[in-house]
């Protein structure tokens, strides 16, 4: 029912009853990620693994996103890169990597991952737009603006993203 704070209280009670249930720790992490409270989610993901939760691609991806959002971008990127080895054409994963690098101010690395998205999906206007934004951040304003304009031509709704990014100082 999407009442994550309420759910968290009940997972806390369940964990207090049985501290060995790895699935409950993982579910608690997912609940905190959905709230969103990724700083609290990360330790629960880690506890789930310690308790024996299977460390698969989904686990690594969820943990990596929470790491990035909780202020641990390097750790998040390292985890994403492990998953990328197994899923090199995963567009969502590539986008998450690009976003993480962008947020860290590593614009060329962000561009490289958005370029990979365009390799697989040549019509991905949002990736093209973000490449333009990254070039602008790198100081190549005219090149970046041209790419953003081309992306907006492909998908006019990106004009709204442009305004949001400008309002946020990005």
Question: What confidence tens digit (pLDDT) does each residue in 80-125 have?
Answer: 999 999 999 999 999 999 999 999 999 999 999 999 999 999 999 9
Give the C-alpha separation, 39 to 68, whole Å: 10
Contact 102, 134 (CB under 8 A): yes
Cα 58 off chain centre by: 13
Give the C-alpha separation, 157 to 127, whole Å: 13
Q: Topology of 106-170 in CATH?
A: 1.25.40
Question: What confidence tens digit (pLDDT) does each residue in 9-26 have?
Answer: 999 999 999 999 999 999
Predicted structure pTM score: 0.85
Domains 1-87 and 106-170 share a fold: yes
Q: Both tokens of residue 68? A: 């990035």
Output the CATH code of domain 1-87: 1.25.40.10
């Amino acid at each position: 029912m999407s009442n994550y704070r309420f759910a968290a209280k009940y997972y806390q009670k369940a964990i207090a009853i049985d501290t060995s249930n790895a699935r409950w720790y993982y579910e608690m992490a997912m609940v905190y990620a959905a709230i969103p409270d990724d700083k609290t989610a990360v330790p629960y993901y880690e506890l789930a693994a310690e308790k024996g939760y299977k460390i698969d691609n989904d686990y690594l991806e969820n943990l990596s996103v929470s790491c990035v959002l909780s202020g641990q971008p390097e750790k998040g990127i390292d985890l994403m890169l492990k998953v990328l080895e197994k899923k090199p054409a995963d567009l969502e994963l590539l986008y998450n990597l690009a976003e993480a690098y962008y947020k860290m101010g590593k614009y060329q690395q962000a561009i490289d991952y958005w370029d990979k998205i365009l390799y697989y999906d040549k019509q991905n206007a949002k990736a093209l737009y973000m490449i333009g934004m990254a070039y602008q951040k790198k100081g190549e304003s005219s090149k970046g603006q041209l790419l953003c304009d081309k992306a907006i031509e492909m998908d006019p709704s990106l004009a709204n993203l442009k305004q949001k990014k400008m309002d946020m100082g990005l």
